[in-house]
Chain A
């Protein structure tokens, strides 16, 4: 382990105040011995940098998928006091509300026919990859609706069913959204991209439930052994990217104005109650809503394909849940024995609210929130449940995915898209992408093993395993 970092438990590590100058609270991260070899010094420095930000409470945290990002580390979680804290795009990222949802079907592995055709039809129905454009022709007013109302807007427009709403974190809409803080440039980028998957690590996957760890929770989530599910991973597209860029610039000026000293310019921030902080929060919330609407529209296209191919009614395909990975939100948490309102930043981390928490639908009140952890292209994804321990330890948060261990430069040198495609094919996993280059970039070998990452969060108790899903066919953006 790195010099200066202290072990405080079998899976817990502390970065003490003083690791970098100006830390206000210690840093804490969660990692097994098996994963410790993947820890980068840069990621720990970033974790410590976050601890220098005004109004941070308790700890600067990182989940076991911690890796070197920009601003916050990926896997970073930090809560800021409503009265004295700040908000920063460095704690959210460019892809605001990049997130994931999973949809169940009545199909089973045995009854799934025409897998290749299903993959092709899904690929045609969901615009994918660089430069992909939506078949939706949004008016400015409709975009406004998307920004203000998120998944609710999509459902009102006919993209889904009313019951989908409660199956989204925050009911698919941050009410604090302020579309007026979203620039004309961001709108211009967002207009033709609604309902598109994007590229990079975004994907749409046909999966099968291969293992059930907690039958009661699985039943509550509506998943059963052998069942076919569809997982969708994407975010707020060019609109969210532009919002981050625009407000980063404004917040750089605000950082100087409010005399905040920071070790990294990407951590540019402003007090939560300042005009600049409020503007970013409002624009970020509007982008988060765009992302929820986006995933809702994509899921509707998926349901249409399944209906057309197999005659399955939309009502038979249930959204299990939709979670955000990159977002900042006001939540109530207990800090030093007192309940307080904090702004929780999750950058490559998932909310994991325990049983009885607010914002959960009735059917998940006793199980806790469904947590969806996507694997990499050829590896398992997992369904977990949020826990009371997460509420105590991590502001109700857990990991978000496997976490990369190999750079794209190295991946490109050591793997070709063709090799990856053939290797997955030998395991029965089909893959469809706009181009082979996108496949090599995201090969299973470039990620930490997802099963070890979820084992750590399960052992810690910050979320508990419910089911494992294996990929059968993948669409890569």
Chain B
């Protein structure tokens, strides 16, 4: 797994690592869904996603926030994201399964993605991100 839970008293903090920026975004989406639903499956549902922002951190924030909105408003439990990241935009597709109370009701709601301490750094060949989810 390329994401790990970190200690945080009030909320959920995640560290995400990936070799490429595209993967970092995909893994961040999976990390968020891991908090919400454990390990969701996919039954072939796919939908496009596209967001824009002025810098990389804002882009990550906008991307995760958009997935949160899609999950809540459309009832799509996202299990994977295949995306292409450019300087100020990210686009691609999300896959997942429809929310079903009997399977997903034990999940944990995320209220929002915090900008506090949200940073993306590159160490040698690895992109590393720490992100705090308000739960």
- Kindly state the separation between the CA atoms of A185 and B112 in the bound complex, as whole angstroms: 14
CB atoms of A68 and B10 under 8 A apart: yes
Question: Which residue in chain A gives the minimum CB-CB distance to B12?
Answer: A408
Q: Identify which of residues 373-415 in chain A touch chain B, using a CB-to-CB cut-off of 8 Å.
A: 404-410
Q: Min CB distance, A421 to chain B, in Å?
A: 14
Interface-centre pick from B12, B58, B134 (highest chain A CB count, 10 A): B134
B118 located at the interface, meaning its Cβ lies under 8 Å from any Cβ of chain A in the complex: yes
B111 touching A266, Cβ below 8 Å: no
From known contacts A130-B36, A130-B104, A200-B108, infer whether A265 and B118 are also in contact, taking CB-CB under 8 Å: yes
Q: Give Cα A158–Cα B61 distance, bound, in whole angstroms.
A: 40
Q: Which residues of A contact B117 (CB under 8 A)?
A: 70, 264
CA distance A409 to B31 in the complex (A): 14
Assembled-state Cα–Cα distance A434/B68 (Å): 21
Check A130/B107 contact, CB under 8 A, given A68-B9, A189-B73, A249-B58.
yes
- State A132–B65 Cα separation when bound (angstroms): 20
Size band of the A side of the interface?
Answer: 35 or more
User: Are A406 and B9 in contact, CB atoms less than 8 angstroms apart?
Assistant: yes
Known: A130-B104, A407-B9. A245 touches B65 (CB 8 A): yes
Contact (Cβ within 8 A) B11 A70: yes
Residue of A nearest to B64 (CB): A245
A438→B99 CA distance, assembly (Å): 18
Partner of B101, one of A69, A131, A405, A437: A131
Q: Are A249 and B9 in touch, CB under 8 angstroms?
A: no
Residue of A nearest to B71 (CB): A131
Cβ of A245 and Cβ of B7 under 8 Å apart?
A: no
Please name the residue on chain A nearest to B99 by beta carbon: A131
Docked-complex contact A404 and B105, CB < 8 angstroms: no
In angstroms, Cα B113 to Cα A185, docked, is: 16
What is the minimal beta-carbon distance from A298 to any residue of chain B, in angstroms?
A: 17
Q: Does B132 contact A (CB under 8 A)?
A: yes
Decide if A241 is an interface residue (CB 8 Å cutoff).
yes
Q: Are A131 and B5 in contact (CB under 8 A)?
A: no
* One of A94, A198, A249, A405 near B62 (C-beta < 8 A): A249
> A71 near B: Cβ within 8 Å?
yes
Chain A residues with Cβ below 8 Å from B65 are: 245
Interface residues of B in 88-127 (CB under 8 A from A): 99, 101, 104-109, 111-118
Residues of chain B within 8 A of A441, CB atoms compared: 108
Say how far B96's CB is from chain A's closest CB, in angstroms.
14
Interface centre among A94, A268, A405, A434 (most CB of B within 10 A): A94
In the complex, chain B residues 28-79 whose Cβ is within 8 Å of any chain A Cβ:
36, 53-54, 57-58, 61-62, 65, 68-69, 72-73, 75
Q: How far is the CA of A248 from the CA of B106 in the complex (A)?
A: 29
Contacts of A185 in B (CB 8 A): 69, 73
User: Nearest residue in B to A241 (C-beta to C-beta)?
Assistant: B111
A184 nearest CB neighbor, chain B only: B73
Taking the closest CB of chain A, its distance from the CB of B13, in whole angstroms, is 8
What's the least CB distance linking B135 to chain A, in Å?
6
Give bound CA distance, A252 to B116, whole Å. Answer: 12
Report whether A435 and B12 are in contact in the complex, using a CB–CB cutoff of 8 Å: no
The interface of chain A, by Cβ under 8 A from chain B, is 40, 46, 67-71, 74, 90, 93-95, 129-132, 185, 188-189, 198-200, 238, 241-242, 244-245, 248-249, 252-253, 264-266, 268, 404-410, 434-438, 441, 477
Could you show 21 A-B contacts with beta carbons less than 8 Å apart? Answer: A67-B9, A67-B10, A70-B115, A71-B116, A95-B134, A130-B105, A131-B99, A131-B101, A199-B107, A241-B68, A241-B111, A245-B69, A249-B53, A249-B62, A265-B115, A265-B116, A266-B115, A404-B9, A407-B7, A437-B106, A438-B106
Shortest Cβ-Cβ A-B pairs, 8 listed = A435-B106, A94-B112, A70-B116, A70-B114, A94-B111, A265-B115, A266-B116, A199-B109
Could you list which residues of chain B lie within 8 angstroms of chain A, going by C-beta atoms?
Answer: 5-12, 36, 53-54, 57-58, 61-62, 65, 68-69, 72-73, 75, 99, 101, 104-109, 111-118, 132, 134-135
Beyond contacts A200-B109, A200-B111, A249-B61: 5 other A-B pairs, Cβ-Cβ < 8 A, are: A131-B99, A199-B109, A241-B112, A266-B115, A477-B109
